[in-house]
Structure 1
């Protein structure tokens, strides 16, 4: 089932509480456990506030849905306008990506001397599907909206405050890296008592 009451934040709040428990227990299986919970979250739609689903005409958007006060994890909605894509980049922390609306393509890369080398074929993530990225699962990739005529939205959970994490983009021809900190386009407080 993909629909429910529009902007009912109960599923988002329950997801955050579950991730808090998973992260508090720790261990090497945290990304896999979080991925299972992400599958449940993106199996339905309607819980994402409209303000966290707004695209920008030129740039993909990274809207902060929640940042753990201890910076153990963060949750963001990535809003891809038609044809938008990232550069080749890394994360430096584990991440779980769940597709909510539309679809996206992801191409993983291997770094070495010279240009980054493609690993395998480009994958396609459809609504309800989930994938893991991390330094041990494949941390360098390029992601793009699968559509040139509509918006796609994916939900990303990271093992740190991704908007404050120093990461890298890589030149597609030379492999040269450049450090960056992404920040956020917008923020949300899902536990604000004024929200439903």
Structure 2
């Protein structure tokens, strides 16, 4: 069961996790809000951006649409794959076609699963439907190249965290139960997405 009232967050390029205002839940409730309506709304929002790099300016509106989907779609919480026994994680793509500008998926991870330190090369919005995650936040310093850990943030069921394209994080599933997330990303450019090692500094395609 997703809690109705929770905080939204935004992670900057400097690794700061900032609270963001949310709409009152009862203003978002409606009889139905289907995935195809949600995707159409997002694509329409992004069509207002002059360039792809301007898309993340629309994160406040995108977060609101994601919360609207969370509140009105029981179906969303049923879309999950069983984690792989070896990796402890599973990704289920909810919609995809050639040239589609969004990544839309749910991810299920077992307790204790930790991702590499990484960025996404685009804006992102992650809604935690079940469980808990700890996001360790980093920032890259160009001169000299090094990675600095800024802090961490615990994301709880019902909360949404969003990222600017330069944000760097590492995610660990914590608590006694698996985490289920709904994840939405912009058009990721492979040459802009990296996995990092902090000491000595190393960046490689992810």
> TM-score, normalising length from structure 1?
0.74
Gaps spanning 5+ residues in structure 2: where? 4-31
Does residue 59 of structure 2 align to residue 36 of structure 1? no
**Which deviates more, 44-53 or 54-63?**
44-53
> Residues 130 and 2 (structure 1 numbering): CA distance in 2 closer, same or farther, change over 3 Å?
closer
TM alignment of 1:68-107, pairs within 5 A: 69-107=98-136
How far apart are the structure 2 equivalents of 1:44 and 1:51?
14
The structure carrying a bigger strand percent of its residues is: 2
Backbone CA RMSD of aligned residues: 2.6
Gaps spanning 5+ residues in structure 1: where? 4-8, 181-196
Q: Deviations over 1:159-192 (max 9, x none)?
A: 11x5x73421111322201112xxxxxxxxxxxx
8 Å contact from structure 2 (residues 2, 129) kept in 1: no
Q: Deviations over 1:48-105 (max 9, x none)?
A: 3756332122322232112364332121112111210111001110111111111111
The structure carrying a bigger helix percent of its residues is: 2
Does residue 147 of structure 2 align to residue 116 of structure 1? yes
Does residue 198 of structure 2 align to residue 172 of structure 1? yes
Aligned residues: 169
Q: 2:48 aligns with which of 11, 15, 25?
A: 25
> Residues 37 and 15 (structure 1 numbering): CA distance in 2 closer, same or farther, change over 3 Å?
same
